[in-house]
Structure 1
Amino acid sequence: MRSLKHQILILLIGSLVLLAASFLLVLGFYMKDRAVAAAIIKAQTDLATCGEIIDKTYPGSWHVQDESLYKGPVKISLNNDLVDHLSQLTGDTVTVFLGDTRVATTVLGSNGERAIGTKVSANVAQTVLKDGQTYVGEANVVGQWYQTGYVPLRAENGQIIGIFYVGISRAYEQEIITRSLLTMAELGLALTILVALLTWFFIQRVIIYPLQNIALGTRDVATGHLTHKIKTSSAKEIGELEDAFNQMVEQIQSLTTEINRANSCSPGNDPLETKKALPIGYMPLSSLNTAGNFGETGLPKGLHQATLGQIVQFLQANRRPLSAEEVAEGVKLTRVTVRRYLEFLEHSGALRSEQKYGTVGRPVKIFIPQ
């Protein structure tokens, strides 16, 4: 069975991946429209650029001579150098029409050769040749769809005698979309990894470590070691679980103390004899070492030499009147446990006690080093 942190992390990463995939899908549809718009802008720009290059390279007016298209004195019909040069500059397909017929082009036909002699589509012919307007948009070019730009070519008298064309293939649009999606995917992956690492740290710090501490405390309860409280810094719900656990430990310790007292008063366990077994007498706290000067055989049932030494060390470091709660906080043990050791030291003569009365509440028992 997977651990809780692995299940939470898998759920989080799965959610992030699903969110990223949905985002990329929506972005793909959005980028498709943006790519079309970018292709249209490119077609308009390339039409203007190519027009300026042709005018500067071949000065003069457009005219028809011997059923061929000329620009000034230069023949444009079958001028592959011109269309190839413009195509290399723009990355577009380029065509020059005489009327509605291609006379110089980089567009290839189905046979793999230049589509010389093929016609422009009817809707483009209507817009450009008859209406005299520039056509920009999607058009069928020799059986393939392109984002295109068509501009009329006018003779010196203003008559429309041909068309100049640039076309941007769908591969250009696809390249824009793919490049944008790859960039967003890389950013999304980096953010996903960052969020996963932060979440891993958060889960470890706020959930897993506190639960592990409580689990260890539960094992201590199961093995009979009830001396340490659980202390965590976590979310409210885990903090409530911690408080409930500590209350359970104190209740178990109180119950254990009552049972031990009841057993000490049972027949054959004379409390006076038990009291005589304790090393009662004047034994100042300063004369005790951190082991407490008591062997395990000299301690009452339920007390441990190591815990006694820990409490003695704290008392020697803080030689002032202290309550059981203050000592418990200092040595990180429960108040019930610490009180039993303090009462034992009081019976041994290392401490004496007084009742401290406040303005409200019950009096507090204060233990004073001897």
Structure 2
Amino acid sequence: MRSLKQQILILLLGSLVLLATCFIVSFGWFMKDRAEDAAFIKAQADLATCKEIIDKTYPGPWYEQNGELYKGTAKISLNNNFVDHLSSLTGDTVTIFLGDTRVATTVRGSSDERAIGTKVSASVAQTVLQNGQTFVGKANVVGQWYETGYVPLRSESGNIIGMFYVGISHAYDQRAINGSLIILGILGLSLTFIVALITWFFLQKFIIYPLHNIMLGTRDIATGHLTQKIKISGSKEIKELENAFNQMVEQIQSLTSEINKTTCDFETNLPTDSADANHNSAEGPDDMVCNLTPNDSNTSNDNDDFDTLESPLANYISTGRFKGESLPKGLNQATLDHILKFVQTISRPISAEEVAEGVKLTRVTVRRYLEFLEQCGVLRSDQKYGTVGRPLKLFIPL
């Protein structure tokens, strides 16, 4: 299966190639029409130029004598050198007709011989010889198509005795069109290559790389390694995907914490023996006794000292335990003392995470001890709200 980058590049390049093909075909068709128009204009100009050259070279009227065509005193029939000269000046094929028959021409037949004695097409003969009009357009010249121009040749009396022809081969048009299309194709390929490089860079930086980072994050989650939030740059859609991924990470972290806490509570509430079971059935697993009066034989003396203590936290640390009752199920006196001493040392609002890091215990375990002390009036809690995520719960010594 192709990667997203390959699919986008193939789609883009395919679209560019299709667009370039359509453009070249349209441009070629446009150039074909323009080339034909230019050829017809050239034919008209060459007719006028050649007519003036003929009149200056051979002054006098056109006339027929003994089946030959003359201009003034010069014989034009079979005067191939003259038509070759006119052809070299204009780049056209040149023919002089007596009636509808070629008597001097540069046009060659299939055997590469001059097409002397061949006749003009009937449509041209109708327009020029019979109607006396100039013909400019496509015409079949000895089996090949040319953009042509024909003018009638008139005798001194005004009778039409022949025609003069210039023709531009389709090969001329095709060379001009092919040259333009080749240049256009080279420019199109260069532009396509440049666009492909720019597209590849854009895809790599703003789409593929951000998606790759998100993919690595999801792979970590799938393999059980909870990832941190990601920070990537990209388009609006990529940023929305980043936000959705980070929200998913927050939810997974929160869900994991709740599961750990529920599991720990379940394990600690399991009875260890029959006595604990009877005790739990009588009092319930959640009973918490929070008497801060010491439970020993010197109760009266300790009560005297209790009045002089500065705070509930200091009172509990000095007494060391609760009067007449054991700790709730799952709590340990030594651990509780350790946490209390750490909290007293810090002497400021502190989170369960900070306490857990300080006493080297899990956050879930530490939170249970802190919440117990909060119920006993040793600590109180407060919520600290940030700009992003869930509020932070802080425990404040009393």
Q: Report the TM-score when normalising by structure 1.
A: 0.70
CA contact (8 A) 2:43 2:147 kept: yes
CA contact (8 A) 2:109 2:115 kept: yes
Task: Report the Cα distance in structure 2 between the residues aligned to 1:30 and 1:98, rounded to whole angstroms.
Answer: 38
Could you give the per-residue CA deviations for residues 342-365 of structure 1, whole angstroms, max 9, x where no partner exists?
x9xxxxxxxxx997799xxx9987
Map of 2:41 onto structure 1:
41
Map of 2:2 onto structure 1:
2
CA RMSD after TM alignment: 3.8
> Offset at 1:191?
2.9
Letter matched to residue 133 of structure 1? Q
CA contact (8 A) 2:108 2:114 kept: yes
Secondary structure in structure 2 of the residue aligned to 1:109: coil
Alignment CA distance shift 1:248-1:79 (3 Å) = same
2:155 aligned with 1:159: no
> Offset at 1:147?
1.6
Alignment CA distance shift 1:137-1:85 (3 Å) = same
Task: Report the Cα distance in structure 2 between the residues aligned to 1:363 and 1:260, rounded to whole angstroms.
Answer: 19
* Residues paired across the two proteins, number: 309
Could you give the per-residue CA deviations for residues 316-355 of structure 1, whole angstroms, max 9, x where no partner exists?
xxxxxxxxxxxxxxxxxxxxxxxx9xx9xxxxxxxxx997
CA contact (8 A) 2:138 2:145 kept: yes
Could you give the per-residue CA deviations for residues 63-85 of structure 1, whole angstroms, max 9, x where no partner exists?
33444323333322211111112
Alignment CA distance shift 1:241-1:273 (3 Å) = farther
Task: Report the Cα distance in structure 2 between the residues aligned to 1:96 and 1:135, rounded to whole angstroms.
Answer: 15
Task: Report the Cα distance in structure 1 between the residues aligned to 2:333 and 2:54, rounded to whole angstroms.
Answer: 122
Task: Report the Cα distance in structure 2 between the residues aligned to 1:44 and 1:212, rounded to whole angstroms.
Answer: 68
CA contact (8 A) 2:217 2:227 kept: no
> Offset at 1:262?
5.6
2:98 aligned with 1:110: no
Secondary structure in structure 2 of the residue aligned to 1:120: coil
Task: Report the Cα distance in structure 2 between the residues aligned to 1:143 and 1:220, rounded to whole angstroms.
Answer: 78
* Aligned positions of 1:286-301 closer than 5 A: 299-301=360-362
2:21 aligned with 1:21: yes
Task: Report the Cα distance in structure 1 between the residues aligned to 2:11 and 2:75, rounded to whole angstroms.
Answer: 70
Letter matched to residue 153 of structure 2? L
Letter matched to residue 73 of structure 1? T
Task: Report the Cα distance in structure 2 between the residues aligned to 1:73 and 1:366, rounded to whole angstroms.
Answer: 125
Task: Report the Cα distance in structure 2 between the residues aligned to 1:44 and 1:195, rounded to whole angstroms.
Answer: 45
Could you give the per-residue CA deviations for residues 52-105 of structure 1, whole angstroms, max 9, x where no partner exists?
222333333333344432333332221111111222222221101122221110
Secondary structure in structure 1 of the residue aligned to 2:164: strand
Map of 1:51 onto structure 2:
51
Map of 1:11 onto structure 2:
11
Task: Report the Cα distance in structure 2 between the residues aligned to 1:156 and 1:123, rounded to whole angstroms.
Answer: 26
* Aligned positions of 1:88-237 closer than 5 A: 88-226=88-226, 228-237=228-237
Task: Report the Cα distance in structure 2 between the residues aligned to 1:49 and 1:300, rounded to whole angstroms.
Answer: 108
Letter matched to residue 239 of structure 2? G
Letter matched to residue 45 of structure 2? T
- Which has the larger displacement, 180-189 or 262-271? 262-271
Task: Report the Cα distance in structure 2 between the residues aligned to 1:298 and 1:126, rounded to whole angstroms.
Answer: 116
Alignment CA distance shift 1:254-1:79 (3 Å) = same
Secondary structure in structure 2 of the residue aligned to 1:60: coil
Map of 1:253 onto structure 2:
253
Map of 1:82 onto structure 2:
82
Secondary structure in structure 2 of the residue aligned to 1:231: coil
Alignment CA distance shift 1:4-1:363 (3 Å) = closer
Letter matched to residue 146 of structure 1? Y
CA contact (8 A) 1:264 1:270 kept: no
Task: Report the Cα distance in structure 1 between the residues aligned to 2:54 and 2:359, rounded to whole angstroms.
Answer: 113
Letter matched to residue 196 of structure 2? A
Secondary structure in structure 1 of the residue aligned to 2:63: strand
Map of 1:30 onto structure 2:
30
Task: Report the Cα distance in structure 1 between the residues aligned to 2:224 and 2:33, rounded to whole angstroms.
Answer: 71
> Offset at 1:138?
1.6
Gaps of 5+ in 2: 269-328, 348-356, 371-380
CA contact (8 A) 1:94 1:106 kept: yes
Identity among equivalent positions (%) equals: 67
Map of 2:318 onto structure 1:
none
Letter matched to residue 178 of structure 1? N
Alignment CA distance shift 1:299-1:50 (3 Å) = farther
Task: Report the Cα distance in structure 2 between the residues aligned to 1:58 and 1:271, rounded to whole angstroms.
Answer: 133
> Offset at 1:237?
3.4
Q: Which has the higher contact order (CA 8 A, sep 6+)?
A: 1
- Which has the larger displacement, 79-88 or 219-228? 219-228
CA contact (8 A) 1:263 1:269 kept: no
Q: Report the TM-score when normalising by structure 2.
A: 0.65
Letter matched to residue 208 of structure 1? I
Letter matched to residue 121 of structure 2? S
Task: Report the Cα distance in structure 2 between the residues aligned to 1:141 and 1:213, rounded to whole angstroms.
Answer: 72
Task: Report the Cα distance in structure 2 between the residues aligned to 1:174 and 1:356, rounded to whole angstroms.
Answer: 82
Could you give the per-residue CA deviations for residues 188-209 of structure 1, whole angstroms, max 9, x where no partner exists?
3233223323322332233212
